[in-house]
Amino acid sequence: MATRGAVKVTSVREMTVGVLGGTGAQGRGLAIRWAKAGLKVVIGSRNAERAQQAADEIKEIAGGDVTGADNAGCASASDLVLAALPWEGHAETLKSLQAELAGKIVIDCVNPLGFDKKGPYALPVDEGSAAQQAEQILPDSRVTAAFHHVSAVTLADLTVGHVDLDVLVLGDDREATDVVRELADVIPGVRGIYGGRLRNAHQVEAFTANLIAINRRYKAHAGLRITDV
């Protein structure tokens, strides 16, 4: 795997990608695309049996090498780990995985959102953002933030051969954000673009509320493209 300061960084295609919360829509959609691209994928869930069921289903759809495990098993088996966890339980689950995630690249894609009769809105987060919360909980991991705006529906539909989306990758560790950008690039159509330091993650997470409002108004699965890059 990638090592801070090492001369050669192994390609993301040789890495094992863990998806904590891989039974949820967002994690599952990304896992389908990564499996399809030939990456080794481990689905994590609190319940190992449900993780294995989801893994079997993803393998059926996308082929490739997909297995399931409980969250700790998923984290241990993986080189880089997507935390696609519900916001409720985000902190608690990450705390329980501190040892397994030490030294690894962790990608937080969690959007802390609330919904009321007026629609979606961003929840305040004491640490600033879900990603910064992860960074505080996991001081020995290399925490990045990315994949906030993906449409689970579009990702899961492999008849969509070109996913029209830029993935903003945030973090203070250049090598880690480069690896995560590569992980975005393996999805056809998607570009991984550096999107700033982790302290600027809140607005990227919160912007998902705007995309949901756009989806409702325009009956779309809206995503972002960055122009002039």
Residues in touch with a copy of itself (CB under 8 A):
118-122, 164-165, 168, 170, 193-197, 199-200, 202-204, 206-207, 209-211, 213-214, 217-218, 220-229
Nearer to a copy of itself, 138 or 211 (CB): 211
Q: Is the dihedral of CA 132, 139, 100, 12 positive or negative?
A: positive
Are the C-beta atoms of residues 128 and 143 closer than 8 Å to each other? no
CB 10 to a copy of itself: min, Å: 23
CB 184 to a copy of itself: min, Å: 15
Residue type, position 21, single letter: G
CB 47 to a copy of itself: min, Å: 34
Question: At 120, which helix (H) or strand (E)?
Answer: strand 119-122
CB 188 to a copy of itself: min, Å: 14
Nearer to a copy of itself, 13 or 197 (CB): 197
**Residue pointed to by tokens 């690896």:** 179
Nearer to a copy of itself, 96 or 207 (CB): 207
Nearer to a copy of itself, 101 or 122 (CB): 122
CB 147 to a copy of itself: min, Å: 15
Q: How far apart are CA 164 and CA 103, in angstroms?
A: 32
In which region does residue 228 sit, left (phi positive, over 0), alpha (psi from -120 to 50) or beta (all else)? left
Tokens of 111: 């959007």
Are the C-beta atoms of residues 113 and 87 closer than 8 Å to each other? yes
The residues near 133 (Cβ < 8 Å, ≥ 6 apart) are 90, 91, 94, 125, 126, 127
CB 202 to a copy of itself: min, Å: 7
Nearer to a copy of itself, 39 or 122 (CB): 122
| 3-state class (DSSP) for residue 83 | strand
In which region does residue 155 sit, left (phi positive, over 0), alpha (psi from -120 to 50) or beta (all else)? alpha
Nearer to a copy of itself, 99 or 123 (CB): 123
